[in-house]
Amino acid sequence: MKPIVYDASILVAADRNNRRVWAEHQVRTKAGLPPLVPAPVVAQVSRAATQANLRRLLRGCEVVPFDEADAHSAGALLAATDTTDVVDAAVVTLAIKRGANVLTGDGGDIRLLVATSGAPLVVYDV
């Protein structure tokens, strides 16, 4: 099983207690493959300390810092696709860097970024 990167829609679904997302998450954590989450994704969805489900999900994930090199890679992807969603680009940049696939609830922009990158990534929809 390849590593997986969660996008913001997965974190939102988990926070809303989506059973399918939680089932997928449990399979990965029990297999010893904690999902990867770029720090900008956390910033996009974190709104209050009362988001208990979000915090519980993140305890089973590896939250990955977003450094200057990542920022340049994400910016290049955005330029190549003429899009502007930095968080989606952060997801794809991390997936490329770690040889991971992506789990999303809204794969349109992610698929465009992946296709443009030429990386052999798979985008899974929940």
List residues bridging with 103 in a β-sheet: 6, 124
Name which of 46, 89, 97 is nearest 71 in CA terms.
Answer: 89
pLDDT number for residue 118: 94
Is the confidence at residue 6, as pLDDT, over 90?
A: yes
Q: Read off the amino acid at residue 8.
A: A
Dist. CA 122–CA 108, nearest whole Å: 13
Angle in degrees, CA 118, 98, 9, rounded to 5: 80
On the question of pLDDT at 111 being above 90, the answer is yes
- The pTM of the whole model exceeds 0.85: yes
| Structure confidence at residue 107 (pLDDT) | 81
CA distance 100 to 103: 10
| Amino acid 1: pLDDT | 81
Structure tokens at 45: 């969805």
Looking at residue 43, which CATH number applies to its domain? 3.40.50.1010
DSSP string, 45-113: H---TT-HHHHHHHHTSEEEP--HHHHHHHHHHHHHHT---HHHHHHHHHHHHHT-EEEES--HHHHHH
pLDDT at 126: 87
| pLDDT digits 0-9 by tens, 16-26 | 999 999 999 99
What is the crossing angle of helices 52-59 and 8-15, to 10°? Answer: 120
pLDDT at 108: 87
pLDDT tens digits, residue range 53-108?
A: 999 999 999 999 999 999 999 999 999 999 999 999 999 999 999 999 999 998 88
Per the structure, the count of domains in the chain is 1
pLDDT at 106: 83
Confidence class for position 14, pLDDT limits 50, 70, 90: very high
> Residue 112 is part of which domain span?
4-125
